[in-house]
């Protein structure tokens, strides 16, 4: 007779343990969600497309800018269709791609030097297949005029661009 009672207590205890575990997981999940929401970042991204000077190359890819809640700007670019084993300049620019080929480089301080960390340069070197990935992380949150990433050929010509939307 004591056996069935013991099974029932064990079964109830098992359900209680499961309930507490689920409740704890939900509570932790809500806490993490709140923390992520409090430290949100602003993300803009776009497709890389060739400028007229990049004609003849099948250039494609993506660029992304993350303005973090802790005051950093992170830019990544992945491009393919470029010449193999070649170093390419890549910079954040201050106008959209269709506006004068994105005009000049974005600068945190417009009167400051044309070098990092005042500018954002996710430069890269392509592999044997003509693919390259660039990364830049700089202190400071890029302003609203940081709207495009331009790929420069060796020698400086603007050959491709991504509007960051």
Confidence of residue 53 (pLDDT cuts 50, 70, 90): confident
- Please check the confidence at residue 31 and state whether its pLDDT lies above 60: no
What's the CATH code of the domain at 151?
2.60.40.200
Percent of the chain with pLDDT over 90: 72
Are residue 28 and residue 13 in the same domain, yes or no? yes
- Please check the confidence at residue 19 and state whether its pLDDT lies above 80: no
Q: Is 43 left (phi over 0), alpha (psi -120 to 50) or beta?
A: beta
> Which tens digits make up the pLDDT trace of 150-162?
999 999 999 999 9
- Please check the confidence at residue 140 and state whether its pLDDT lies above 50: yes
Are residue 20 and residue 49 in the same domain, yes or no? no
Q: Provide the pLDDT for residue 54.
A: 76
- Domain total in the chain: 2
C-alpha dihedral sign at 97, 103, 109, 113: positive
The helix (H) or strand (E) run that includes residue 14 is helix 2-38
Q: Provide the pLDDT for residue 3.
A: 53
Is the preceding peptide bond at 117 cis, omega within 30 degrees of 0?
yes
Confidence of residue 99 (pLDDT cuts 50, 70, 90): very high
Are residue 32 and residue 84 in the same domain, yes or no? no
Are residue 21 and residue 50 in the same domain, yes or no? no
Are residue 31 and residue 47 in the same domain, yes or no? no
Percent of the chain with pLDDT over 70: 76
Domain extent for 29:
1-38
Are residue 159 and residue 127 in the same domain, yes or no? yes
> Which tens digits make up the pLDDT trace of 33-44?
333 344 689 999
């Amino acid at each position: 007779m004591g056996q069935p009672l013991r099974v029932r207590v064990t079964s109830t205890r098992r359900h209680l343990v499961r309930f507490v575990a689920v409740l704890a997981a939900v509570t932790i999940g809500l806490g993490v969600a709140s923390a992520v929401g409090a430290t949100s970042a602003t993300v803009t991204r776009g497709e890389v497309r060739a400028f007229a000077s990049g004609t003849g190359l099948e250039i494609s890819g993506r660029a992304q800018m993350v303005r973090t809640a802790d005051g950093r700007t992170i830019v990544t670019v992945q491009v393919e269709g470029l010449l193999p084993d070649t170093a390419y300049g890549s910079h954040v620019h201050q106008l959209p791609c269709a506006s004068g080929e994105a005009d000049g480089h974005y600068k945190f301080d417009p009167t400051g030097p044309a070098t990092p960390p005042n500018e954002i340069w996710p430069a890269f070197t392509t592999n044997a297949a003509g693919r390259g990935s660039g990364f830049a992380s700089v202190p400071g949150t890029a302003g609203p005029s940081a709207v495009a990433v331009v790929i420069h050929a060796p020698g400086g010509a603007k050959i491709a661009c991504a509007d960051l939307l």
